[in-house]
């Protein structure tokens, strides 16, 4: 009502859309980091070393893409973005948990994350395991306690919690990591497109879909819109992870803030391994365009979500 119908962003105009996108991403990062600062235990609260580790991992940097998806999905359905801030923080805290555990010697054994030494390199392995555990627990505490405090109704807050719980569990995020590890130990005997897709859907896509759905839920939209946001999240997450695979081969470690070339070294099943680099680039771009198409019926109010999707295959960090 009273909102002009905007043209959908044509792919060729994606650069033009980048400035507002960059502005909103910067604004989102600032707001989310201030909110995270209020939600995380203080560094001097005992046990101080654990709280220092949690803050180190959360504030080491990071694009804050998942909170952006929560907030922008809420905005796109006309919701009150302020009500979505605790959920935006919860998904970032859960994501950081997964990074801390992913970097452990028993998993990917990485020394560098977000341009800094990984949590276990600074605090030791035992403390990094506990830091990850405490972050996972904090993510759900934020949803259970802080989200209802905004005045959001209890059934909606519960649906948000259910959405994140499912996305994180053994069928999705944790399950994707399990498949990833299994592929490495079996020396990637199965190099099929179906298998790499199954892993990516779990390891990366599911959480991004959950972020979009949670934003829509807090915006109190209908099931049809939630379905469209989920579909957008699916294609966006796929474009993101295919590009991540490509950047691990072709990217610059300094911009990425992590060691490159690890996928090949650890014999990970990736898109470039299955499809080659050129085809992978096309698939990332097609996935980004499918994300935009999923939001066709939003009539321009989801411009920045579309711009984000189109920017992903070009990303360097």
In the complex, minimum distance from the CB of residue 172 to ligand GRG, in angstroms, rounded to a whole number: 9
For 248, other C-beta atoms within 10 Å of its C-beta total 21
In the complex, minimum distance from the CB of residue 136 to ligand GRG, in angstroms, rounded to a whole number: 6
Q: Is 67 in the site for ligand GRG (CB under 6 A)?
A: no
Interface residue with ligand GRG among 89, 91, 99, 307 (CB under 6 A) is 99
Among candidate residues 66, 313, 47, the one with its CA nearest the CA of residue 167: 66
Q: Is 98 in the site for ligand GRG (CB under 6 A)?
A: yes
Pick the stretch among 29-37, 173-181, 192-200, 223-231 that binds ligand GRG (CB under 6 A): 173-181
Among candidate residues 232, 293, 286, the one with its CA nearest the CA of residue 73: 232
Residue 116: beta bridge partners? 113
Angle at 231 between CA 230 and CA 237, to 5 degrees: 85
Q: Is 202 in the site for ligand GRG (CB under 6 A)?
A: no
Q: Is 177 in the site for ligand GRG (CB under 6 A)?
A: yes
In the complex, minimum distance from the CB of residue 315 to ligand GRG, in angstroms, rounded to a whole number: 9
DSSP readout, 102-164?
HTSTTTT--SEETTEE-HHHHH-HHHHHHHHHHHHHHHHHIIIIIHHHTT--HHHHHHHHHHH
Instruction: Write the interaction track for ligand GRG spanning residues 215-244; mark x where CB under 6 A is met and - where it is not.
Output: --------------------------x--x
Residue 117: beta bridge partners? 112
Q: Which is nearer to ligand GRG, 107 or 301 (CB)?
A: 107
Alpha-carbon span 48 to 315, nearest angstrom? 37
> 8: which 2 tokens?
């959908």
Is 7 in contact with 300 (CB distance < 8 Å)? Answer: yes
DSSP state of 13: G
Classified as helix, coil or strand, 17 is coil
Is 249 in contact with 264 (CB distance < 8 Å)? Answer: yes
Residue 235: beta bridge partners? none
In the complex, minimum distance from the CB of residue 235 to ligand GRG, in angstroms, rounded to a whole number: 15
Q: Is 181 in the site for ligand GRG (CB under 6 A)?
A: no
Interface residue with ligand GRG among 168, 217, 292, 302 (CB under 6 A) is 168
Class of residue 149 by CB neighbours under 10 A (exposed 0-12, middle 13-18, buried 19+): exposed
Instruction: Write the interaction track for ligand GRG spanning residues 124-163; mark x where CB under 6 A is met and - where it is not.
Output: ----------------------------------------
Pick the stretch among 44-52, 92-100, 150-158, 298-306 that binds ligand GRG (CB under 6 A): 92-100
Interface residue with ligand GRG among 31, 118, 161, 204 (CB under 6 A) is 204
Question: What is the binding site for ligand GRG (CB under 6 A)?
Answer: 62-63, 65, 94-95, 97-99, 101-102, 107, 114, 168, 173-174, 177, 203-204, 241, 244
């Amino acid at each position: 009502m009273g909102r002009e119908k905007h043209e959908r962003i044509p792919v060729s105009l994606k650069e033009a859309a980048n400035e507002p996108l960059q502005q909103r991403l910067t604004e989102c990062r600032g707001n989310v980091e201030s909110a995270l600062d209020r939600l995380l235990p203080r560094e001097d609260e005992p046990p101080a070393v654990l709280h220092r580790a949690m803050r180190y991992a959360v504030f080491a940097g990071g694009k804050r893409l998942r909170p952006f998806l929560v907030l922008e999905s809420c905005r796109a359905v006309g919701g009150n973005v302020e009500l979505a801030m605790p959920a935006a923080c919860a998904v970032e805290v859960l994501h950081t948990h997964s990074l801390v555990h992913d970097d452990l010697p028993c998993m990917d054994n990485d020394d560098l994350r977000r341009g800094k030494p990984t949590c276990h390199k600074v605090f030791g392995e035992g403390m990094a395991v506990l830091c990850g555990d405490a972050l996972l627990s904090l993510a759900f505490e934020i949803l259970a306690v802080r989200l209802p405090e905004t005045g959001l109704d209890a059934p909606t807050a519960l649906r948000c919690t259910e959405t994140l719980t499912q996305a994180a569990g053994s069928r999705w995020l944790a399950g994707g990591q399990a498949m990833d590890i299994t592929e490495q130990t079996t020396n990637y005997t199965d190099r099929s497109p179906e298998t790499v897709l199954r892993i990516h859907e779990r390891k990366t896509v599911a959480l991004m879909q959950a972020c979009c759905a949670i934003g829509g839920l807090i915006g109190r939209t209908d099931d049809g819109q939630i379905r469209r946001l989920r579909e957008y999240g699916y294609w966006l997450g796929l474009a993101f992870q295919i590009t991540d695979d490509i950047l691990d081969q072709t990217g610059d470690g300094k911009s990425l803030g992590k060691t490159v070339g690890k996928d090949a070294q650890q014999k990970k099943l990736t898109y470039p391994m299955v499809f080659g680099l050129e085809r992978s680039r096309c698939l990332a771009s097609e996935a980004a365009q499918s994300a935009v198409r999923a939001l066709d019926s939003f009539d321009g109010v989801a411009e920045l979500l579309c711009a984000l999707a189109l920017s992903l295959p070009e990303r360097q960090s």
